[in-house]
């Protein structure tokens, strides 16, 4: 079963050529830095207004009131101080601050616009030499704001300036005379206002258009690069096929501004494209079924040629396998791209739009690049899935075989015991020795069969017992009481230490699993520690973990053997000289610790003992 996210769960995204969504913009690094950049620039603007005012008073032939200009400059500096505090709080805030940054950008553009309007009015209205600075405001708004908001700002600016000119003509607002070329300067005439407004409309809209065009292109390139980066990350970040596919679909829809996207993988027969994952499509559309690779259909052409292909539903209806379903979904344009594989194509990736002729050649190149990146992740995930299935089958086979071996081995052991007990007649010394050796070999085989069966059962996920909160300290006390007689026989010191708080600690597991882990580690310490040695078991509790440390003064482990210690059937050379074993004990312990979500580590030096430490996550009692 693939992963399909229906249309009702899709975060709204901007259509192609438009940018109404804030979230992709907020992820832009340039936008993250723009808040502080504007604040830094505004310090210069505030100081420049005040300094420019005093310079103008010294240069212009007719004196004018500096109060409005100084007040605006001071207001800019004061407001900028507050904005700086807001910027710092947003930068320091944890989590997603995209919406806060969006409102900060709107606030900065609006405040600068108001300050500029006051300056223009007091420096001559539509005759003001500062009017040119409105073009810079239009450019900044187009760079920072979404397309529609930036256009609204541009039109509002033009309308406001027109209102300013009309108000001065009607006498509603006094014309602020700023002598530039002489001592007298008449108010603006209707003709002058009309000409200035035509010029402002032309220059403002052209500046907005070209700036927005560049800004959208840059934002789109950034989003595409981010999506490619995420796609390349998915190759190594996870081997879960469904997670990889869903991530690719989500990024494709958000970056391309599509209404949906889907991935179909070639089935084992090579005759159909089976749906594997989707984003933004309805359940009704997904229920249409697989795509058949039959000549005449678009999917067959793309799989054969490998060329990205655009389908315009109204024009290419005959090339679609399910045209009525596609039309009912509201889809008008589909972009098909083949998923390339190392040896053969893997399937198809498709982007959908509800607008006619929605996608461009740039979109095709982007989707093809995403498909190439995603194909590597898909092949890795498929290979991992196959290996995992093979490992499960191997474990299941091993479990069946060892289970079948257990009965004849036990039967042979029983027969040997009958012979040694004399029920079949008296044995000579040589015969008894020979049968005794057979019994020892059968015992070793029995241990191997038991270990193999437990290892296979664990790896195949077949746990008979249900997990429940267990006390590690109680399990340790039970293990020590069971192993202590062996330690006493070897005149060893067996010490158990439990830090404060350990008694109340619980880990989630099964009694068999927990006891096997602890008894194996403590038993090995006793087994490989010479007579008169010392084994110290220490239990410690951390915030969310319970650690058990088993330290001995035994034979230790050679440095060359440490990397192979948890390899199946491996035993260190010095261990083989001390005791017989299967080489599976630590492997089983490691598997059990992993299943409980813990870690197992070892520190050892040959001839100086070993320290095994197991850490398990705690849970509520």
Task: Output the DSSP codes for 509-523.
Answer: E-HHHHHHHHHHHHH
Mean pLDDT, the chain, integer: 79
pLDDT-derived band at 619 (thresholds 50, 70, 90) equals confident
At residue 351, the pLDDT reads: 93
Write the DSSP assignment of 235-276 as a string of letters: HHH---HHHHHHHHHHHHHHHHT-SEEEEEEE-TTSSEEEEE
Residue 413 has pLDDT above 90, yes or no: no
The Cα–Cα gap between 591 and 461 comes to 11
At residue 20, the pLDDT reads: 40
When pLDDT is averaged across residues 512-519 and rounded to a whole number, the result is: 88
Task: Provide the 8-state DSSP code for 466.
Answer: P
Q: What angle do CA 29, 34, 39 make, to 5 degrees?
A: 150
Strand-pairing partners, residue 311, are 334
CB atoms within 10 A of CB 509: 27
Residue 274 has pLDDT above 80, yes or no: yes
The structure tokens 């008979």 sit at 464
pLDDT-derived band at 21 (thresholds 50, 70, 90) equals very low
Task: Provide the 8-state DSSP code for 394.
Answer: H
The Cα–Cα gap between 43 and 81 comes to 9
Residue 536 has pLDDT above 90, yes or no: yes
At residue 1, the pLDDT reads: 42
The Cα–Cα gap between 344 and 436 comes to 61
| E-state strands within 387-533 | 468-471, 493-498, 506-509
The Cα–Cα gap between 555 and 477 comes to 25
507: closest CA among 546, 475, 537, 550?
Answer: 546
When pLDDT is averaged across residues 262-273 and rounded to a whole number, the result is: 90
Tokens of 485: 């007689």
Whether 604 contacts 610, CB under 8 Å: yes
535: closest CA among 543, 526, 545?
Answer: 526
The Cα–Cα gap between 86 and 335 comes to 43
Residue 121 has pLDDT above 90, yes or no: no
Residue 519 has pLDDT above 60, yes or no: yes
Q: Is the pTM of the predicted complex or chain greater than 0.75? A: no
The rounded percent of the chain whose pLDDT value lies above 90 is: 22
Task: Provide the 8-state DSSP code for 130.
Answer: G
For residue 470, the number of C-alpha atoms closer than 13 Å in the C-beta half-sphere is: 21
When pLDDT is averaged across residues 514-524 and rounded to a whole number, the result is: 90
At residue 319, the pLDDT reads: 93
When pLDDT is averaged across residues 295-312 and rounded to a whole number, the result is: 92
Whether 127 contacts 189, CB under 8 Å: no
Tokens of 522: 């403590």
Where do runs of H (alpha helix) occur along 60-132? 67-92, 98-122
When pLDDT is averaged across residues 574-585 and rounded to a whole number, the result is: 73
**Dihedral (CA of 585, 590, 596, 601) sign:** positive
Residue 50 has pLDDT above 50, yes or no: yes
Q: Which residue has the higher pLDDT, 321 or 254?
A: 321
The rounded percent of the chain whose pLDDT value lies above 70 is: 80
Strand-pairing partners, residue 548, are 539, 614
The Cα–Cα gap between 488 and 502 comes to 26
When pLDDT is averaged across residues 479-491 and rounded to a whole number, the result is: 91
For 356-368, b/e burial (b = at least 16 CB within 10 A) is eebbeeebbebbb
Where do runs of H (alpha helix) occur along 145-189? 147-170
The Cα–Cα gap between 203 and 266 comes to 55
Tell me the per-residue pLDDT of 148-178, one tens digit each, with 9 for 90 and over: 888 888 888 888 888 888 887 887 777 776 6
Tokens of 138: 């239009």
CATH of 468-619, one of 3.30.470.10, 3.40.605.10, 3.30.565.10, 3.40.50.720: 3.30.565.10
Tokens of 600: 């197992």
101-110, 230-239, 459-468, 581-590: range with lowest mean pLDDT: 230-239
At residue 481, the pLDDT reads: 92
At residue 238, the pLDDT reads: 57
At residue 133, the pLDDT reads: 79
531: closest CA among 554, 557, 558?
Answer: 554
The Cα–Cα gap between 549 and 537 comes to 6
Residue 253 has pLDDT above 90, yes or no: no
When pLDDT is averaged across residues 500-516 and rounded to a whole number, the result is: 86
The Cα–Cα gap between 352 and 95 comes to 32
| E-state strands within 383-505 | 468-471, 493-498
Q: How far is CA 321 from CA 263, 297, 317, 325, in A?
A: 16, 6, 9, 9
When pLDDT is averaged across residues 353-378 and rounded to a whole number, the result is: 84
Whether 578 contacts 555, CB under 8 Å: yes
Contacts of 77 (CB under 8 A, 6+ apart): 43, 46, 47
385-389, 518-522, 603-607: range with lowest mean pLDDT: 385-389
CATH level 3 topology of 238-385: Beta-Lactamase (3.30.450)
The Cα–Cα gap between 554 and 612 comes to 12
CB atoms within 10 A of CB 217: 11
CB atoms within 10 A of CB 9: 9
Residue 25 has pLDDT above 50, yes or no: no
135: closest CA among 51, 209, 69?
Answer: 209
Torsion, Cα of 481, 482, 484, 485 (10° steps)? 130
127-141, 294-308, 391-405: which has the highest mean pLDDT?
294-308
- Domain locations in the chain? 22-229, 238-385, 387-459, 468-619
Q: How far is CA 255 from CA 244, 259, 337, in A?
A: 17, 11, 16
The Cα–Cα gap between 486 and 479 comes to 12
Task: Provide the 8-state DSSP code for 344.
Answer: S
44-58, 96-110, 294-308, 481-495: range with lowest mean pLDDT: 96-110
Residue 129 has pLDDT above 80, yes or no: no
Residue 397 has pLDDT above 50, yes or no: yes
pLDDT-derived band at 350 (thresholds 50, 70, 90) equals very high
**Dihedral (CA of 379, 385, 391, 393) sign:** negative
Q: 467-470: long-range contacts at Cβ-Cβ below 8 A with a sequence spacing of 24 or more?
A: 467/508, 467/509, 467/510, 468/508, 468/509, 468/510, 469/506, 469/507, 469/508, 469/619, 469/620, 469/621, 470/506, 470/507, 470/508, 470/509, 470/510, 470/511, 470/514
Residue 445: phi, psi to the nearest 5? Answer: -65, -40
Residue 302 has pLDDT above 90, yes or no: yes
Tokens of 345: 């194509």
Q: What angle do CA 112, 115, 119 make, to 5 degrees?
A: 135
When pLDDT is averaged across residues 338-350 and rounded to a whole number, the result is: 89
């Amino acid at each position: 079963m693939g992963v399909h996210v229906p249309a009702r769960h899709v975060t709204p995204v901007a259509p192609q050529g438009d940018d109404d969504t804030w979230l992709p913009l907020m992820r832009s690094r340039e936008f993250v830095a723009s808040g502080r950049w504007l604040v830094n620039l505004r310090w210069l603007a505030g100081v420049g207004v005040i300094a420019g005012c005093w310079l103008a008073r010294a240069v212009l032939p007719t004196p004018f009131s500096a109060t409005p200009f100084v007040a605006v400059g001071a207001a800019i500096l004061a407001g900028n101080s507050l904005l700086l505090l807001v910027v710092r709080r947003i930068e320091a805030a944890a989590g997603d601050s995209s919406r806060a940054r969006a409102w900060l950008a709107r606030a900065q553009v609006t405040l600068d616009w108001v300050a500029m309007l006051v300056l223009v009015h007091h420096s001559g209205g539509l005759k003001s030499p500062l009017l040119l600075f409105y073009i810079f405001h239009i450019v900044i708004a187009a760079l920072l704001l979404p397309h529609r908001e930036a256009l609204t700002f541009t039109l509002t600016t033009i309308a406001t300036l027109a209102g300013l000119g009309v108000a001065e003509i009607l006498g509603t607002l006094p014309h602020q005379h700023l002598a530039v070329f002489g001592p007298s300067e008449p108010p603006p005439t209707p003709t002058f206002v009309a000409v200035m407004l035509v010029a402002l409309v032309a220059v403002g809209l052209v500046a907005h258009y070209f700036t927005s065009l560049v800004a959208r292109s840059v934002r789109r390139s950034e989003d595409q690069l981010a999506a490619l980066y995420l796609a390349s990350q998915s190759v190594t970040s996870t081997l879960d096929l469904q997670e990889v596919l869903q991530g690719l679909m989500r990024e494709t829809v958000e970056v391309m501004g599509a209404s949906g996207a889907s991935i179909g993988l070639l089935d084992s027969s090579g005759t159909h494209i089976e749906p594997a994952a989707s984003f933004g499509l309805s359940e009704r559309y997904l229920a249409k079924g697989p795509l058949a690779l039959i000549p005449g259909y678009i999917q067959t052409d793309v799989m054969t040629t490998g060329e990205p292909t655009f389908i315009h539903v109204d024009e290419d209806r005959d090339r679609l396998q399910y045209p009525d379903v596609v039309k009912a979904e509201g889809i008008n344009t589909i972009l098909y791209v083949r998923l390339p594989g190392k040896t053969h194509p893997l399937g198809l990736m498709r982007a959908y739009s509800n607008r006619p002729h929605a996608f461009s050649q740039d979109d095709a190149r982007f989707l093809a690049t995403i498909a190439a990146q995603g194909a590597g992740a898909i092949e890795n995930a498929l290979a991992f899935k196959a290996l995992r299935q093979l490992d499960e089958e191997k474990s299941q086979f091993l479990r069946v075989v060892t289970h079948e071996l257990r009965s004849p081995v036990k039967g042979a052991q029983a027969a040997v015991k009958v012979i040694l007990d004399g029920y079949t007649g008296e044995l000579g010394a040589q015969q008894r020795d020979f049968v005794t050796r057979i019994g020892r070999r059968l015992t070793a085989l029995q241990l191997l069969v038991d270990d193999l069966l437990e290892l296979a059962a664990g790896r195949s996920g077949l746990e008979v017992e249900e997990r429940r909160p267990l006390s590690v300290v109680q399990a340790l006390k039970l293990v020590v009481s069971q192993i202590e007689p062996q330690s006493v026989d070897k005149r060893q010191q067996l010490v158990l230490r439990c830090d404060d708080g350990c008694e109340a600690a619980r880990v989630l597991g099964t009694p068999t699993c927990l006891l096997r882990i602890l008894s194996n580690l403590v038993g090995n310490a006793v087994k490989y520690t010479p007579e008169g040695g010392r084994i110290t078991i220490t239990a410690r509790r951390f915030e969310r973990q319970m650690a058990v440390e088993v330290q001995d003064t035994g034979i230790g482990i050679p440095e060359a053997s440490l990397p192979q210690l948890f390899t199946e059937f491996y035993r260190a050379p010095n261990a083989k000289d001390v005791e017989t074993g299967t080489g599976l004990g630590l492997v089983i312990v490691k598997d059990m610790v992993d299943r409980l979500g813990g870690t197992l580590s070892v520190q050892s030096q040959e001839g100086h003992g070993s320290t095994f430490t197991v850490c398990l996550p705690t849970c509520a009692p």
